[in-house]
Amino acid sequence: MKKETILIIDDDESMRDSCSLILTKDGFHTESAEDGIQGLEKIKTIKPALVLIDLKMPGISGFEVLEQIQLIDPDIIPVVITGYATVESAVEAMKKGAYDFLPKPFTPQELRIIIRRGLERKKLIQEAETLRHEKKLVEENFITMVTHQLRSPLIAILQYFEVILGGMVGVIQAEQKEMISKAKERLESLLELINDWLDIARMTSGSIVEKRQPMSLQEILKKLVEFIQPAAEENKITIHLQPPVGQDSVMGDPESLEQAFTNLITNAVKYNRPRGSITVSVREEESDVMVTIADTGVGIPKENLPFIFDQFYRVQRTENQKTKGSGLGLTITKKIVDAHEGSIDVSSENGKGSLFTVRLPKAKPQHNPSE
């Protein structure tokens, strides 16, 4: 079994020797340095598990060593040992990354306790990092598996159904056509659910934030309203897009924000009343751009409002109000808004419509080098 390496940085030779003797007897490998510069060089070379650091040394101080350790390897556990222990120095050391603080003089047992605690901390950090790595691999494998082993075959089956229903392989009876149509609808619902799962898995990776750029919310909303208008007109629902008030530019990922606002406007159509209306507006606030989507629909009962952004949560509807869906649309919308460092709120009353409000940080003015 590999011995843990502990580095002792102290200008007092007797302190270095005594700590080394105690720790060597306990089965550790020890290294020592008489000042901060020598200590930092050894840290870069041997990468110890834990470092004991004296605050008062010639040359660079222990505080400077603490700051440098964070840059070299933040997983190293630094423990401060000093004969000038004060509350202020302890607080300052903790701010600069020290795990613990041991005032001189200390007993061998006190040293053993703090070393053991520090190494347990390091073990927990390593285990957490391993779990994060394994979780990432599981997510990546999940996306691959769902995409290739579930989604692709479903799309192929749907295409076969479309060929059969289109009469391209011969005439089918009315009863057969009805059964195939129902099966096709179920497959489409399952495919929608899989697509939503994939969206959530991708969002968890943080890829949305990486693709942000300055963009106009009004332009996105105008395109979406034009796209959704035919579905709204089928139910004689009118969508009003108000002119923007002030700046409408935010830092965002166009594709994901389109998805978020599509979910909100589509829901406003689904849960509206025949001959109802939807009003979409964009307004500049102090540091945000606010988008509101108000509808004259069936509304959301007060007791359901705290849960509507939860995964798979569906508001209980009457038979006449039920619509198809995965129950993930609002969850995805909130994840997208959160990834953009924004917020989403809803106010609603059963039978009196809903108002969704999205706030996103304004895009900062772009610097022109030629100016």
105-131 confidence digits (pLDDT tens): 889 999 999 999 999 989 998 888 888
- In the DSSP assignment, the letter for residue 302 is G
State whether 342 and 235 are in the same domain.
yes
Our count of domains for the chain comes to 3
Contact 11, 54 (CB under 8 A): yes
Kindly state whether residue 367 falls inside one of the protein's structural domains: no
Q: Is there a single domain that holds both residue 215 and residue 355? A: yes
Considering 90, 106, 122, which residue would you say is the last residue of a domain?
106
- How many angstroms separate the CA atoms of 51 and 154, rounded? 57
Q: Looking at residue 265, which CATH number applies to its domain?
A: 3.30.565.10
CA separation, residue 153 to residues 150, 159, 183 (Å)? 6, 10, 15
Read out DSSP for 144-177? HHIIIIIIHHHHHHHHHHHHHHTTTT----HHHH
* Domain co-membership, 201 together with 237: no
Residue 266 to residue 228: CA distance in whole angstroms? 7
Q: What is the number of residues in the chain?
A: 371
Phi-psi region for residue 312, left (φ > 0), alpha (ψ -120 to 50) or beta?
left
Q: Mean of the per-residue pLDDT values for the chain?
A: 85
* Max Cα distance, the chain (Å): 97
pLDDT at 262: 92
Among 123, 73, 124, 119, smallest CA distance to 100 is for: 119
pLDDT tens figures, 323-344: 555 567 888 899 889 989 999 9
Q: For residues 304 and 227, state if they share a domain.
A: yes
Q: What is the mean pLDDT of residues 20-39?
A: 93
Quote the domain boundaries for residue 33: 5-106
Beta strand pairing call for 249-252 and 77-82: unpaired
> How many angstroms separate the CA atoms of 8 and 14, rounded?
12
CATH number of the domain enclosing 74: 3.40.50.2300
CA distance 206 to 202: 7
DSSP code of residue 140: H
Average pLDDT over residues 14-43: 93
Q: How far apart are CA 181 and CA 173, in angstroms?
A: 12
Which among 85, 2, 68, 71 is positioned nearest to 33, based on CA atoms?
68
pLDDT value of position 201:
66
Same domain, 219 and 195: no
Residue at which a domain ends, from 157, 175, 205 = 205
